Amino acid sequence: MSEKYVARSKAVASRTLGGEIVIMSAVDSTLFILNDVAAQIWLAADGQTSLSEIVKWNVCEEFEVNPEVAYNDAVEFVDELAVHGILQTSEHPLSPNDTGAAETP
């Protein structure tokens, strides 16, 4: 299985409102309101940390979930956000210069 790296895109609007992270794509205006698990993945998507590590440390450590199920759900989630230009994915680490990952989400 190849590794997956994810980074927050620059082409998004985002805000934490009442404890929930709200994200909107500037590419197609799709709106997402993230649940707790999705928020953990979003916040950790720095382009440098692999998705499997994010799931291991930020999801499985925080929530009582089966690691395999959690990883598969995470892949589905990041792929959906990638379609809308909200996350960038790569098999290699992504440079902060190419993404919005270094900025405050």
Interface contacts to other proteins, rule CB under 8 A = 10-15, 17-18, 20, 22, 24, 26-29, 31-33, 103-105
In the chain the first and final C-alpha atoms are separated, in Å, by 29
Between residues 10 and 92, which has the closer beta carbon with respect to other proteins?
10
Q: Residue 45, Cα to own-chain centre: how many angstroms?
A: 5
Q: How far is the CB of 57 from other proteins (least distance, A)?
A: 25
Q: How far is the CB of 8 from other proteins (least distance, A)?
A: 10
Between residues 4 and 8, which has the closer beta carbon with respect to other proteins?
8
Q: How far is the CB of 40 from other proteins (least distance, A)?
A: 19
CA distances 96 to 1, 15, 72, 73, 93, Å, are 25, 20, 25, 25, 9
Between residues 24 and 59, which has the closer beta carbon with respect to other proteins?
24
- Are 86 and 32 in contact, with CB atoms under 8 Å apart? yes
